[in-house]
Amino acid sequence: MCRMNGSVITETNDLVAAEEPLEIRVEGQSVAVVMRTPGEDRELAAGFLVTEGLIREAGEVLDISYRPHCSLASSDKAAPLEKADREKKFSNIAAGISDGNVIEVRLKNPETVDRKKLTRHLFTSSSCGICSKASIEAIRQQFPPLEDDCEIEPQVLQGLPQSLAVAQENFKQTGGLHACALFDLTGKLLVLREDVGRHNALDKVVGWALLQGCLPLRERVLLFSGRTSFEMVQKALAAGVSAVAAISAPSSLAVEFARENGQVLVGFLRGEKMNIYAGASRLRKTYDHKTSSRGRTAG
């Protein structure tokens, strides 16, 4: 890699965010190939199945293991599990696709899973999580309604970006990773995951929560390092999260979806400033005495 500054060029050894495909199989059937940053692959596979609406709790999962790339789908020869825990977020500009890129989820009661959802054969990009719906009607999945209408302190939200920045040293190194972090209502960071794909980072957080046995995620706030799309708000709903905040902007459909489903949606959360696109009534009214004359009716 060369670095150029003005007309001076120097050779250097740069870190870039690792991107590799991960094939996710369920009961021997390939359901997705996601472009992800290696690491926390078991969480990613588990979270993907949650936010795709296939499973809801850890008890439904029998096993999550790496498989040899070229194995028959029905093979029982699982690759060693310790590969699941390796961290390989960065690459010295990679030399090919590594092994450990096929992971299989086995379910306790596979017959209860909607098999139609498993017949997709799709490739999801590093930024893509809910690929494979065959029609416009199908983009909205059915998830149970939220049972979480917790109040949130605006001051807690204002502190989250700083907590994320402190925890997210990797991002500063490469600038190439999206982050998703889960906080409790006091602003305590519970888990942080990073990935070249923002949907993967979110799925890893949800998969972590599934494997910890703490789904649905009540009284929790998800923070994204970038923008918020429709899919990400829908994935948050799948995990039961009622409050989503992001450093950057939401899309129109993200706002619409959050309002329909009783979620809090905050964007442009920077310093003391934020935009509240949905659920403003759930922000605790510590600020009322300073409310401007225009009032607050949105949400």
Per-residue x/- track, 23-42, a copy of itself (CB under 8 A): x------x--x-x-------
If the CB atoms of residues 6 and 213 are measured against a copy of itself, the closer one turns out to be 6
- DSSP codes, 58-78: GGGEEEEEE--TTS-TT---P
Q: Indicate which single residue of 68, 97, 108, 184 sits in contact with a copy of itself (rule: CB under 8 A).
A: 97
Least Å distance between CB 252 and a copy of itself? 4
- Kindly tell me which residue out of 77, 116, 172, 294 binds a copy of itself, with binding defined by CB under 8 A: 294
Q: Using CB under 8 A as the criterion, what x/- string covers residues 202-241 for binding a copy of itself?
A: -------------------------x-xxx----------
What is the nearest approach in angstroms of a copy of itself to the Cβ of residue 283? 8
Nearer to a copy of itself, 94 or 185 (CB): 94
CB-wise, 42 or 235, nearer to a copy of itself? 235
Amino acid 206 reads V
Task: Answer whether 220's CB lies under 8 Å from 41's CB.
Answer: no
Under rule CB under 8 A, how many of the chain's residues touch a copy of itself? 92
Return the number of the residue (109 or 289) whose C-beta is nearest a copy of itself: 289
Cβ-Cβ contacts under 8 Å for 33 (sequence gap 6 or more): 21, 22, 23, 24, 122, 123, 124
Please give the Cα distance from 252 to 254 (Å, whole number): 5
Which of 174, 190, 218, 219 binds a copy of itself (CB under 8 A)? It is 174
Three-point CA angle 47, 105, 61, nearest 5°: 75
From candidates 54, 161, 276, 282, binder to a copy of itself by CB under 8 A:
276
52-77 as b/e: b if 16+ CB within 10 A = bbbbbebebbeebbbbeeebeeeeee
Would you state the structure tokens that stand for residue 236, as one six-digit string?
């948050």
Cα–Cα nearest to 233, from 151, 143, 295: 143
Q: Which CB sits closer to a copy of itself, 77 or 290?
A: 290
Closer to a copy of itself by Cβ: residue 72 or 97: 97
The torsion angles phi and psi of 8, rounded to 5 degrees, stand at -100, 130
Establish if 287 lies at the interface with a copy of itself (CB under 8 A). yes
Location of structure tokens 């825990």:
85
Q: Which of the residues 2, 70, 128, 150 is marked catalytic?
A: 128
2 in catalytic set: no
Q: Note whether 55 and 118 are within 8 A (CB).
A: no
Touching a copy of itself, residues 105-164 (CB under 8 A): 120-136, 138-139, 154
- Closest distance of CB 197 from a copy of itself, Å: 8
The catalytic site residues sit at: 128
